Structure 1
Amino acid sequence: MKIVVKRIYELPSPDDGYRMLIDRLWPRGMTKEKASLSEWNKNLSPSSALRSWFHKNPDLWDDFAKKYRTELEQQNFGTSWLEAHRQESVVTLLYAASNKIHTHATVLQQYLQDLQLTL
């Protein structure tokens, strides 16, 4: 499975494959029709506490990434999600943040890619 990241505000494409919103909150100004989602998975998003902490401390990106990855490992939703969706050839992780580099989507992408290697 190929896992890519994309802002939800970008137009949907047939190349997106399975489109999954990974934000805990619904993106401002986005309608369900425009989003064209296959799934909205809040379980794979950072906890509310971690998200709030990062918004107050954006300079601590590396710490956020480590804490988020720890949350993902503790919750173990990634493994069950990958097993349930193994038939998908492309999965697009959708997020709303304007910062394309320092977004939880890139951490989740790497985490899921790493998990795929162990399954």
Structure 2
Amino acid sequence: MTVRVRRVYDPVEDDGGRRVLVDRLWPRGLSRSKARIDEWCKDVAPSTELREWYGHDPDRYDEFANRYRSELDDPVRAAALSELRELAGNGTLTLLTATKDFAISQAAVLAELLED
């Protein structure tokens, strides 16, 4: 199983496998045809409240990751995470986000969970 995290704005990699957008909001300035995603799994995204609290502040990342993991226990999010697990079990999975620093995004948290 290979799980990658990339920005949705970056060029598509030939060996990227299934490309799944994991943001709740559609990326600004990007058409659906240019995005070249296979799925949009917005149900796995963090709540609006958590996303706004976090604001991609690197100092809040650890607390964000803990709170987000707790949110993933919600039945709808848990089902979406289960779908991602299934996709990851079938080959390379690339989790896409519009976040500038994807290393401290929900996609990074998801990748860590999927690889465990």
TM-score range, shorter chain: 0.7 to 0.9
Any unmatched runs of 5+ in structure 2?
A: none
Secondary structure at 1:30 match in 2: coil
In structure 1, C-alpha distance between the alignment counterparts of 2:74 and 2:48, rounded to whole Å: 16
How is 1:40-79 mapped onto 2 (pairs within 5 angstroms)?
Answer: 40-55=40-55, 58=57, 59-75=59-75, 76-77=78-79, 78-79=81-82
Q: Determine what percentage of the aligned residue pairs are the same residue.
A: 38
Unpaired runs of 5+ residues, structure 1, are 115-119
How high is the TM-score relative to the length of structure 1?
0.85
Q: Deviations over 1:4-45 (max 9, x none)?
A: 000011111221110000000011111111110100000111
Residue in structure 1 matched with residue 97 of structure 2 by the alignment: 95
Contact 1:17 / 1:88 at 8 angstroms: preserved in 2?
no
Q: How does 1:1-119 map to 2 (within 5 A)?
A: 1-55=1-55, 58=57, 59-75=59-75, 76-77=78-79, 78-83=81-86, 85=87, 88-114=90-116
Q: What is the CA distance between 1:110 and its match in structure 2?
A: 0.4
Measure, in 2, the Cα distance between the counterparts of 1:87 and 1:111: 13
User: How many pairs were matched up?
Assistant: 112
SS of equivalent to 1:5:
strand
Q: Once superposed, what is the RMSD of the aligned Cα atoms?
A: 1.7
Specify the code of the residue in structure 2 equivalent to 1:93.
Answer: L
Is the 8 Å Cα contact of residues 97 and 103 (structure 1) preserved in structure 2?
A: yes
Note the C-alpha offset of 1:73.
3.0
| TM-score, scaled relative to structure 2 | 0.87
